[in-house]
Every structure is written in structure tokens, then in C-alpha cells.
Amino acid sequence: AQSVAQPEDQVNVAEGNPLTVKCTYSVSGNPYLFWYVQYPNRGLQFLLKYITGDNLVKGSYGFEAEFNKSQTSFHLKKPSALVSDSALYFCAVRTYNTDKLIFGTGTRLQVFP
């Protein structure tokens, strides 16, 4: 069965420091991986995706993610965090033979001034 794990419920980082939000996945077949962000009282917004090709994917708002097949991970990163990055982040996965998106439980990112 497909699954996604976000091992950290919350990540705290000081503004200006690099941030990493972790995601690991378990699928049969090639994974299609996504990151979404949810700001308070808003729906989910797409950040970036990995389908194939370059393992480093760049997305919106300066975020990037690195696909690591051997470690089955797709960690979200940003070189310099902003207070406005504080939000709930979701990793999601789907495979070629299904159109269903499986979400992780979410990681709350708190960036302190």
C-alpha cells in the first residue's frame, strides 16, 4: 500500500536560517511526489512536484525539494526562512497506476523572528 510519512509534527527555525521539512514515502512503482502548503483559514496551495528527471526540484516562494530514490525521501528545503513561511506543509504521493493522492499528516513550520 502507498503511504507517506512526515516524521515531525512541528519544525521550528529562526528567520534567515535554512529549513528542512522531511518526507519519506512507500510506493510500488515510480512515485509522483508533491508538496503543498496550507496557510491559516486557507485551502492547500501547490508548491512543487517531482515526476521524473532532475532530482532537485524548484518550486514557489523559493522552496525546493530533493528526490532521493535510495532513501525514499522527498525533503522540502529553503536556504533562508521567512516568518511568512510559517504554515502547515503536506507531502503527498501517487503512482502511475492510480489517480489517488495520498497525503502525509502534515508538518507545522514555525519561523521565529
Q: Which of 40, 54, 99, 113 binds another protein (CB under 8 A)?
A: 99
Q: Return the H-helix or E-strand segment holding 30.
A: none
Segment near another protein (CB under 8 A), from 15-23, 39-47, 61-69, 70-78? 39-47
* Element spanning 63, H or E: none
By DSSP bridging, strand 10-14 and strand 107-112 are parallel
Q: Number of H helices and number of E strands within the chain?
A: 0, 12
Q: Please report whether residue 5 would count as binding another protein according to CB under 8 A.
A: no
Comparison of 19 and 106: residue with beta carbon closer to another protein: 106
Query: Does 53 sit near another protein (CB under 8 A)?
Result: no
Q: Which residue in the set 43, 53, 54, 113 belongs to the binding site for another protein (CB under 8 A)?
A: 43
**Cα 29 off chain centre by:** 20
Q: How far is the CB of 61 from another protein (least distance, A)?
A: 15
The residues near 105 (Cβ < 8 Å, ≥ 6 apart) are 6, 9
Q: Could you say which of 10, 26, 105, 110 contacts another protein (CB under 8 A)?
A: 105
Q: Hey, CA dihedral for 44, 46, 47, 50, is it positive or negative? A: positive
- Chain residues in the site for another protein (CB under 8 A): 9, 32, 34, 36, 41-46, 49, 51, 90, 94, 96, 98-101, 103-106
